[in-house]
Amino acid sequence: MCELLGMSANVPTDICFSFSGFLHRGGGTGPHRDGWGIAFYEQGGYREFRDPHPSVDSPIARLICDYPIKSNVVISHIRQANVGGVRLANTHPFTREMWGRLWCYAHNGQLDGWQELALDVYTPVGSTDSEHAFCWLLGELRRAFPTPPASFGPVAALLHTLCERLRGLGVFNLLLSDGESLYSYCSTKLAHITRRAPFGEAELSDAEMTVNFSEHTTANDVVSVIATAPLTHNEVWTTMLPGELLVWREGSIKARYAP
């Protein structure tokens, strides 16, 4: 299975610490050697790095650790290939435009019968079940809402229904964002943590690294991290329920949809 990493923050924040542990799972402490990617939303723009090689050995991944890109929303993925060959076209995250925004998506899991999901507006570039499901999801959202709704509520409610349908086809853990909201859906395994004042120290589980967040934050900062499995061993992470969808904005949960 692949692994997911996401971040939502109320101020532009770098993800260097979390990503430094996460990349080791891509061929180091974990078996996910079939590519990795990371996407940043920053100041109304979108920046993405993808690499079909193991993240633990990737010079690009090391660049991300050393280059503190400040972002409010981040989505990252490390891949263990099940469907589709190991190549750049099959490397997450995937991106499409809808309503004048770039939507970023990453999926952990494997689906049965995914070829039967009828596509309309969006077409996959690669050959994975993940990208096909993404094209189907966005197509269904766009068909229901030809123009963007005034709030994220109707989109989130329909997204939860669509994710529940995909969960019926197998394992479907998801991170999805339009740059404003970050949606996390749990099929089998996702956990999250929200850090706010008073900030303390955190120690990575997959690398020898400790950070004192009080030295890098202000009293008003709120930063939430979502991951397939907790990235630190000295903090309390919350495990999502199977079938649960959370909507994150500015580091906080704004809506919760139960299975």
CA atoms of 148 and 158, how far apart (whole Å) = 13
pLDDT at position 18: 95
Neighbours of 186 (CB within 10 A): 25
Q: Name the pLDDT band for 13 (thresholds 50, 70, 90).
A: very high
Q: Which domain holds residue 130?
A: 3-257
pLDDT digits 0-9 by tens, 179-208: 999 999 999 999 999 999 999 999 999 999
* pTM for the whole structure: 0.96
- pLDDT at position 26 is 84
Q: Which whole number is the average pLDDT over 48-68?
A: 91
Residue 30 has pLDDT above 80, yes or no: no
Is the pLDDT at 216 greater than 80? The verdict is yes
**Any bridge partners for residue 244, and if so which?**
186
Q: Please identify every residue annotated as catalytic.
A: 2
Residue 9, burial from CB neighbour count under 10 angstroms (0-12, 13-18, 19+)? buried
Report the pLDDT averaged over residues 25-51.
Answer: 89
Q: Using 50, 70 and 90 to split pLDDT, how confident is the model at 34?
A: confident
Residue 53 pLDDT exceeds 80: yes
- For residues 128 and 111, give the distance between their C-alpha atoms in angstroms, rounded to a whole number: 10
Percent of the chain at pLDDT > 90 equals: 84
Residue 112 has pLDDT above 70, yes or no: yes
Q: pLDDT tens digits, residue range 230-243?
A: 999 999 999 999 99
In 3D space, the residue among 84, 94, 86 whose CA is nearest the CA of residue 127 turns out to be 84
pLDDT of residue 57: 87
Q: What is the pLDDT confidence band of residue 1, given thresholds at 50, 70 and 90?
A: low
Pairwise CA distance, residues 147 & 128, whole Å: 28
Q: In this structure, what CATH number is given to the domain that contains residue 205?
A: 3.60.20.10
Cis? peptide before 93, omega within 30° of 0:
yes
**What is the Cα 135 distance to its own chain's centre?**
16
pLDDT of residue 56: 86
| Number of structural domains the chain divides into | 1
Helices (H), the chain: 16-22, 59-66, 129-144, 153-167
Position 107 pLDDT exceeds 90: yes
> 146-173: per-residue pLDDT in tens?
999 999 999 999 999 999 999 999 999 9
- pLDDT more than 70, % of the chain: 100
pLDDT value at 66 more than 70: yes
